[in-house]
Amino acid sequence: MQNPIILQMKGIDMQFPGVHALKEVDFTLRAGEVHTIMGENGAGKSTLIKCLTGVYQKGKGTILLDGKEINPKSTLDAQSLGISTVYQEVNLCPNLTVAENCFIGRQPKKAGFIDWKTMNKRTKELLKRFDIDIDVTKPLSTYTVAIQQMVAIARAIDIQCKVLILDEPTSSLDANEVKQLFKAMRSLKEEGMAIIFISHFLDQVFEISDRFTVLRNGELIGEYLVDEVTQYELVSKMVGHEIDDLSTLKRVQHTEAEMKEFLKAKQIGVAGSVQDIDLTLRKGEIVGFAGLLGSGRTETANMLFGVDPITKGSISINGKKVNLRKPSNAIKHNIAYCPEDRKRDGIIGDLSIRENIILAIQARQGIFKKISKKKAEELAQKYIKTLQIATPDADKKIGELSGGNQQKVILARWLATDPDLLILDEPTRGIDVGAKTEIQKLVLKLCEEGMSIVFISSEIEEVVRCSNRIVVMRDRKKVAELKGDDLEHDTILKTIAGGAKTNE
Amino acid sequence: MNNVNASPLKKKKGGNLNTNYLVVIIAIVILLIAIIVGSLVFDNFFKLGTFTNLLINNAHIGISAVGMTLVIITGGIDLSVGAVVAIVTMICAYGSADPASTFGGLGLDPVVCMIISLVYGILIGAAMGCLIQFFDFPPFIATLAGMFFSRGSCYILSTQAITVERGNLIDTLGAWRLKFFTPEGGGFSVGTGEVDGKVIGNLSIPVFMFIVVVIIGILISQYTKFGRTVYAIGGNEQSAYLMGLPVKRTKVLVYTLNGLCSALAGIAFTFFMRSGSGLLCVGMEMDVIASVVIGGTLLTGGVGYVFGTVFGVLTLGLIQTFVTYASLNSWYTKIFVGVLLLFFIGLQRIIVNIADSKKVKVAG
């Protein structure tokens, strides 16, 4: 049984100077389905979406909405046609109340003035559909990203919306929040809304989608129903060749005695945040941190790097007690940290790749010993080569690179300092499958060379695959440390959920 | 996994008081404390006359501060207000002066002069708004240009200080007072003109202008699309644009509106001084900005209330009154205002930090 077609894009062609971004791509969307557009970074997903939302004007081809040809000139134009987009970054105003964010621009009025009461009431009803019962008169910034995202969706669907585009909506949500979002998506689907979904998370894509359209290098590879393909096949189609099956990655297993202890944390904690964490990190070992968002993973990393100085417990490095009051102390002890939010904490978008790479070494040397241009270029070339950063030269601004490549540059920045301990917080978030494998491989290789690595990720499979040992966190406490046979997806999930065994 | 399901979408605990209101509440509390302290320290302080004088002396600052509040909420700033007030006093005083008088003058009808003043305010505001919106000038620079332009133009009219003649409409309106008095035999009464009894306080026309402007300001900022768009722009301009709000139009309008407010403040100040001069109100924009900030508006934009600004203006005025009562050199006012401003900006920083840290804990 086929639902009626709502939107049809035929022969969409798009050229940018030097790049043929879309080559005669077709896309068909039916009412009441979740249709995922899949493809690696640069495959043309976002270009296709931007043609639809009026950000770009398509070169050739036609777009039919309900059988009528449309030519959206701007996002506003697209919105008035019934095409709404919710982006990864929540595009709302944090200072306004929840209700206002839902209704601004089309507030209900009474006697010419905004009728706040009706607005609050209608927002409450709107959010009820998503099972969210919150105080809508509080500023949006009071609530978590997940709720903000729902508010964005609520706003989008309340504007006479036929097609809802969700661009990477889940990348900053934890498992439960994703569940909540999917629930909302399903109820919208039942009401006959057509949803275009874009995500890098394969599991999620398979859970929610009815249909996939796969793009590669701007070309349409095909359209598939969810039952027709396996995850593995889908990824192969995206990448275009048989990928290294991630599960074949091999860990080097040293025994604990073989590995030299690098850092030992005893009962560390920060007042009002994470408490009583015991941790031993050895050279040549990858320790994974698993847990829900907000379980204290990032906070623990922050303590190890001196971002949040510990108020309790002690940290010793190579057997000597150290005092990590600020990141520069940690850098002196050869600790490196790739933070979670690379856009906010990591990259400096207007500087070149080379400048971004040498930043950390320069910081360690002090500002008076400038690294020569020659040395910098050498370093940049070395890492562009070893990490396979896709760029014509080291002078390109980092802001112009794709997410995966930006991540590699940040890795390069810290690798250049030749650290003993490398802390990676969500190193593969928001980057495509191919780049993901590369980064994971690299991490394993670094570990083999004797680096001690802390690997934090929301994707449990990824943590399992890479780590020798996994620290499970829940509610800002370390609840278990798993190793050997316990390194299994289910065991970890249970431990996170607080069900099964804990090694306490 | 039921126990996990319970937590993530739950709303944040604590911080039940909206932090946006908090700064305003603090402004009110500070004002009350200042009044109490003043009453205890100075004899003869806590009486109606003190407060009506406070209003009379600061009405022009208040009128201008309402417009400035909106500008600052968008994340902008307007440095031209003092200069616009000055040129309006000149337009009114010089424009309406008799050409035969010692100052020269244009001999225009005072009402015409006031209309010209308002038009000037609107035009200079709109011009600065356009520079900021369409030519991407930083508000600081665009309004600095507006400030120099207006200040310089004063001297094209006349380099002299012009006193408004007796009998001129401006003089009449400026001298008008609504008087509160104690009639002989006690009691309380209100009247205008010559009153029979002991006057205990009075209000001038600028005070009523101030009250009206505040009410209109509150209505605009809280109950119109334009007003809410102003807040949205201050919160996140890019988002506001993506939500389909008329960002460009609103930004030009907000400077235009502030130009109008400056012109109104200028008319109010002409009533107050009953004279005009290019030397008047140098640095008044700083007093205005200070009152807006003390009233709880964040200089980074997005947060603030016209209602709060009223308290900022009164606090600032009260400091001046204190200095007068203590017979200190009037420059002490500036020092106290400086200290208070520092205190408030520090306080806002702390509140914002607390709000942020709360968020991190929950959002992970």
- CATH number, domain of A503, equals 3.40.50.300
Task: Please answer yes or no on whether A294 and B224 come within 8 Å at the CB atom.
Answer: no
As a whole number, mean pLDDT of residues B187-192 equals: 86
Would an 8 Å CB–CB cutoff place B75 in contact with chain A?
A: no
**Chain B CA closest to residue A116:** B223
pLDDT (0 to 100) of residue A370: 78
For the segment A2-41, what is each residue's pLDDT rounded down to a tens digit? 788 889 999 888 887 666 788 889 999 998 899 999 877 6
Query: Which residues have C-beta within 8 Å of that of residue A345, sequence separation ≥ 6?
Result: A339
Write out pLDDT tens, residues B12-59: 333 445 666 777 888 888 889 889 988 998 888 888 999 999 999 999
The answer to whether position B6 is within a domain reads: no
Judge whether A445 lies within some domain: no
Q: Does a structural domain hold residue B362?
A: no
Is residue A231 located within the same domain as residue A281?
no
Q: Which residues 264-303 of B are in CB contact (within 8 Å) with A?
A: 302-303
Last residue of a domain, one of A214, A246, A278: A246
Q: What percentage of chain B carries pLDDT values higher than 70?
A: 91
Beta-bridge mates of residue A83: A163
pTM of the model: 0.72
Of the residues A195, A216, A246, which one is the last residue of a structural domain?
A246
SS3 B18: coil
| pLDDT given at position A257 | 61
Task: Say how far apart CA B305 and CA B285 lie, in whole Å.
Answer: 18
Per-residue pLDDT in tens (0 to 9) along chain A, 504 residues: 478 888 999 988 888 766 678 888 999 999 889 999 987 766 788 888 888 888 888 778 899 998 888 888 887 788 888 888 887 777 889 889 999 999 988 889 988 899 999 999 999 988 887 778 889 998 888 888 778 888 888 888 776 678 999 988 877 677 778 888 888 888 888 888 899 998 877 778 888 999 989 888 788 888 989 888 887 777 777 766 554 555 555 555 556 666 788 888 888 888 777 888 888 888 888 898 887 766 788 888 888 888 888 888 888 888 888 888 888 888 888 888 887 766 666 777 778 888 888 887 787 777 677 778 888 888 888 888 877 777 777 888 887 777 777 878 888 888 888 888 889 888 877 676 777 777 888 888 888 888 889 998 877 778 888 888 888 887 778 888 888 777 777 777 777 766 444 443
- The answer to whether residue A407 sits within a structural domain is no
Nearest to B244 among A79, A180, A294 (CB): A79
Q: A217 and A262 share a domain?
A: no
Report the CATH number that the domain containing residue B106 is assigned in CATH: 1.10.3470
Q: Tokens representing A266?
A: 């005893």
Same domain for A62 and A101?
A: yes
Q: Report whether pLDDT(B131) > 90.
A: yes
Shared-domain flag, residues A204 and A260? no
> Are residues A252 and A325 both part of a single domain?
yes
Instruction: Report if residue B357 sits inside a domain.
Output: no
- The mean per-residue pLDDT over the stretch B62-71 comes to 97
Query: Does any CB of chain B come closer than 8 Å to the CB of residue A143?
Result: yes
Whether A114 sits inside 8 A of B359 (CB atoms) is no
Residue B42 CA, distance from chain mean position: 28
B140-146: long-range contacts, CB 8 A cutoff, minimum separation 24: B140/B77, B140/B79, B143/B77, B143/B78, B143/B79, B143/B80, B143/B255, B144/B79, B144/B80, B146/B78, B146/B79, B146/B80, B146/B83, B146/B84
Chain centroid to CA B48? 23
Of the candidates B257, B238, B248, the one whose C-alpha atom is nearest the C-alpha of residue B125 is B257
**Does residue B363 surpass a pLDDT of 60?**
no
Dist. CA B84–CA A50, nearest whole Å: 46
A239 and A268 part of one domain: no
Q: CA torsion B285→B325→B174→B48, rounded to 10°?
A: 110
Residues 157-186 of B with CB under 8 A from A: none
Q: In 10 A of CB A488, how many CB atoms? A: 13
Per-residue pLDDT tens digits for B269-305: 999 999 999 999 999 999 999 999 989 898 888 989 9
Quote the number of domains for chain B. Answer: 1
Instruction: Give the C-alpha separation, A276 to A278, whole Å.
Output: 6
Shortest CA distance from B14: residue in chain A: A142
Domain for residue A17, yes or no?
A: yes
What pLDDT is recorded for position B36?
92
When pLDDT is cut at 50, 70 and 90, the band that residue B175 belongs to is very high
d(CA A359, CA A350): 13
Q: Do A295 and A150 reside in the same domain of the chain?
A: no
Taking the CA of residue A499 and the nearest CA in chain B, the distance in Å comes to 7
pLDDT digits (tens, 9 = 90+) for B145-167: 999 999 999 999 999 899 998 88
Residue A291 neighbours by CB under 8 Å, 6+ apart: A297, A472, A473, A474, A496
In a domain, B236, yes or no: yes
User: Is the domain of A47 the same as that of A173?
Assistant: yes
Q: Is B14 an interface residue toward A (CB < 8 Å)?
A: no
- Residue that finishes a domain, picked among A196, A225, A246: A246
Residue A403 lies in a domain: no
- The angle, 0 to 180 degrees and rounded to 10, between the axes of the packed helices B48-73 and B306-325 is 140
Judged by a CB distance cut-off of 8 A, whether residue A493 touches chain B is yes
Q: What is the mean pLDDT of chain B?
A: 87
Domain enclosing residue A205, as ranges: 5-246
Residues A188 and A251 reside in one and the same domain: no
- Using CB atoms, which residue from B8, B232, B238 is nearest to A96? B232
pLDDT of residue B7: 37
Strand order across the beta sheet in which A335-338 lies: A335-338, A421-425, A452-456, A286-291, A469-474, A477-483
Based on the fold, state whether residues A142 and A262 are members of the same structural domain: no
Asked whether residue A79 falls in the same domain as residue A155, the answer is yes
Residues of A in contact with B13 (CB under 8 A): none
Neighbouring residues of A474: CB distance < 8 A, sequence distance ≥ 6: A291, A292, A295, A495, A496, A498
B119: in domain: yes
Interface test with B, best of A116, A142, A171, A298 (most B CBs within 10 A): A142
Range of the domain at B214: 20-352
Q: How many structural domains compose chain A?
A: 2
Could you tell me if residue B265 is inside a domain? yes
Closest C-alpha to A197, from A233, A219, A179, A170: A170
Any domain includes B7: no
Asked, for residue A88, whether it belongs to a domain, the answer is: yes
Q: Is residue A389 part of a domain?
A: no
